[in-house]
Structure 1
Amino acid sequence: MPVPADTGNAPASGTAVHFGAGNIGRGFVGMLLHEGGYEVVFSDVAAGLVDALAGAGSYTVHEVGDGGVDREVSGFRAVNSAQDPEAVAEELAVAAVATTAVGPTVLRFIAPHLVEGLRRRDASAEPLQIMACENAIGATDTLREHMVTAAAEAGADWEELAAKAVFANTAVDRIVPVQPDGAGLDVTVEPFYEWAIERGPFGERPPQLPGAHFVEALGPYIERKLFTVNTGHAAAAYLGARAGLGTVAEALADARVAAGVAAALQETSAVLQAEHGFSEAELADYRATILRRFANPGLPDTVGRVGRQPLRKLSRHERLIGPAAAAAERGLSVDGLLAVVDAALAFRDADDEQAAELARMLAELTSAELVARITGLEAEHPLAPRVQELMARHRG
């Protein structure tokens, strides 16, 4: 029997407009907004999903694994931002919070809705608290930049609009795997989650989000998550795929794959310790927690799903080249990370456009061109020669 989500001791009042009603939106951000006492308004462009939410009284978030419970989410509404942008703007004009979980590349399409909502917002109202909950560094800053552009295109005064909003970067972490057939609106997730939010922009009025924690400096937490959770997940997927294994849990049960993942994460921890001053013991505990999460047999996440979009994951500031480049600049070991890069270059998935594009590029470009086009590394970067060697191995 699902339990109602805990709304905490000081529930918020008002609405929270959340862009992206997919599994992460419903099973993580939307659930926590509900727990904070907000009336959640889901905004999405998928007509079937919006209609299903609009006709449902509730859905259940199933936490699988140690300590997991079923949580019921109710009291929400849904609007179709493609078919009814007017309704989205009206919701934003009076909302307390606006969040996103749409993917970094989609933020530019969200920006015009936020601009129009702020144009309609009363100047005397509390500022709209905007947080982009994306798997990217500085996603809210990116959203704000898109809003500046959208405001100019709409002929709006950006300074006037910006005075009606507060922008805070966040770091989010929760594994939401491929959902079982017939799940409907229900979402299966792991029990663990983390939502770190910049404290400064909110002053004395932070949003009410039980379970989230507010930090003075978000950068270290974002990099710790990206270089441990995302790097580790990718390592398990690419090394697991090369070993012919189907799920991340199966990959980590394989001794050679597990050793490869551990080696890559030892190297990212060395970077995090050097850059941000995390203690060795703290990082060891964090790595152990992450690996336990990945091995959760209740989350049958496939190596294909986790490994998809290899070009993005091999780009300059992403989970593999990013920490490897930082390590090389400091003269630290990169062997484990490059072993994962090697496996990523061999990743193939007939249903993934980027995997097909990667194969095409490896067949057509020189090793130097591949390094520049795929990883964004400068030719003089200390990591570039070793990556070029890997590219040469996979060409043709």
Structure 2
Amino acid sequence: MNQLHAPQGDFTLNRYPVRAKETLRAWDAADEYILQNIADAQASGEAFQNVLIINDSCGALATALAPMRPVIMSDSFVSHQAIRHNLQSNWPEKVPLHLTDCLQSPAEYFPATEAPADLVILKITKSLAQLEDQLHRLRPLMGENTRVLAAGMVKAIHTSTLELFEKIIGPTHTSLAKKKARLIHCQPDLSLSPAPNPFPKALPLPEHRLDIINHASVFSRDKLDIGTRFFLDNMPASDAPKQIIDLGCGNGLLGIAAAGSHPNATLTMVDESFMAVASAERNFTFNHPDRTAHFQVTDCLTGIADNSADLILNNPPFHQQNTIGDFIAVQMFKDAKRTLKTGGELLVIGNRHLGYHVTLKRLFGNCTTQASNKKFVILRCIKR
């Protein structure tokens, strides 16, 4: 299950966090298609010096192509950890690791600013907005001879996907599908004058007296999702000094609202997305200029002290990259129990059909309904 056989070699790859009896692979057919295409290009005499890899979810590309010393860009903290783990496991001689997030330019890792990337490898994610933002950020790094190789599963590649490449980078064509994966080849056209990058985008919320901006990968960046709206309408209030954590903070709306209803609280906002935490930090600072808060990019509550929080707010995601399931929510609930003080509270919002109350009652020994409507339920647990 965890052995990748590629033209570049055989590699042992794990998802992160590493779990016993993992049933999901750390790579997909699009990764295999990319690696075969690059091996074929090298066999025909092509050579690449400045290599950039974007959205490598678990490090399959970074590990297999490690001798090329690529620069690796990802918005996901979990992906960063998986890449580090798999590189260390497969290359004990410690090949150089140039790892950055999607808000930083990778140009500093290349030998000279006038030497653009000559190979850009991009995995297509589900988010069209994230792709648009990434293509805008990549364009200044490309020369007319830069080879742009993108790939994804067929279900993630649409006409709108190809139109973005055409509009921002240049002429684009696709390969035949192979094992339900497809390659996208794009030739940079330096004469193009694409419209400016539209991200980050403003999201005014006058009904809540808030001014919000969202980076491209933030969930529900164009409107206030109905689950968050319901949570905001049922936010608890207290004058007591409290340590409050917005777990999986996204753009920070729940933490910002909690700061308003808890005037003496200290807020901490955590998320595994660098763009989400950057959005949350900007939004909190703008809407509460007289308050301070802590912001951390991490996996669930990794690095947050045990028994340190009075209240944790959580709107858990039900997917990680393209993988759908409740495993992230369960890990968040476990971390919340560890992090709460005795008597501390966890408030969780979710769709009614997800059945979070079963897991929460098993973990905490108690779970009550704070509020509910036809679609959502806010659950309350107390650490005994």
TM-score, normalising length from structure 1? 0.31
TM-score, normalising length from structure 2? 0.32
The structure with the greater share of residues assigned to strand is 2
Query: Quick one: higher RCO (CA 8 Å, sep 6+), 1 or 2?
Result: 1
